[in-house]
Structure 1
């Protein structure tokens, strides 16, 4: 249970950072949210996130600033002050160190850069709406969190493959830079995902597996070259989340979760699989939060 308490404490700190990203944030403020001492709060943050609180805040602010700079109407100085940098010069140094390009050159050229997208801890899944909590953590190392969440009507910007049925085949077909393009779409509702498309959403001679990012149903912005935009109907997703793991063991952890999903009977909780209605998807494997995958379900009329 100690591990769960630490994750919840770090979750509160991450949520606080996200909500106050445009304001000064001190370690005392974070410790108050964590409900631990300043020293212990900083320690467990680094343990679970892999970054110190201030490193996390810095890269989160810089990435959000980069997204704002994609809109050329935003002045660099204004963006710097918006994200609590004391000067244009200090912002330029930090931005250049993080991304290898100055803010002014980035504004002019808008190259692909690798954004840091903060992720809340233990099942927040960015902005997923909370649903039915089916299972919770216990002392077993093999425990999987399972939760049903509601997804709104939305669109998804995606890059199709050719014959890919999983991530590695997909990267061989289209390359791995797709993720960086998706991370740069500022109107995104959630973080990018890998998807297994139902037959109804596949085009002829294109793959089952692809990558994309969901945007509002009202989205009418630019579609990157070679990408498609499709609509997804409201649905329920059963989200599976494994335990935290060492990053180098991601393949083994994905296999464990897949074994659990294969054996899982949603009817026990009043649902059935609905794979033909909307994509099953996976989030990027990140050891601190456990591997996360979601499969569509519909509620049974009992």
Structure 2
């Protein structure tokens, strides 16, 4: 068994026992490793200490349970190993910046910590070769966009350090909140939009070191004479792109766990291995006309590493 396979085995054990007490020693035994070596290997491959990871996965499951307003917050807390309502509230607010009561009131989208697919760090596929891992399918290829695409939507600033996967930090999901707002307000430009394609565009400005701008919008075959307040126009310009196609069984899993895992694989594994970096922007392109499977693509403009300066 490879070392990463031992960690994958312990991750599966954690998922199956999140409502039970989980000790580091027990996890080390399931992986067949000493507690000392297990903890070092786990932190290296998962980027979190063992018990910190267990806490974050319990909180992620608690967030799902809190959406059921018929359940008491105390019951949710006790289900996932928190000793009291007060202890759960403290940890929840430290992690997400809001209390469980505040979350239940507005149900904002949150950055929760997903179970990682450690095996993705050890698999490299060629262009045009699908990679099946966990519950997702990835395929990376080059595309040439010969005609610019125009999108209408909304944009906001996002703190880099407070977003998963780029900052590896849990908090309110600012891009997710922007999508909620866009889907409520897009009726203002509905006559100009295609119903089949939407994008989320992340890009940097020279004056913004700790933030990036995020745009959420729909493909606009026809432009209005004027835009409603707060709406902006963005262009996906012509040129060469690296495109990572992602498929999953349902849309919610696609735009959360699958997107995070695919982003990590593309930017941390695939591009560096091919001696590529990218321009300071990326696009998530969502397709709504696929009947068989939820699918989307990540578009980036490649730059050879030797030319990145």
TM-score, normalised by the number of residues in structure 2 = 0.49
Higher fraction of strand: 2
TM-score (norm 1): 0.50
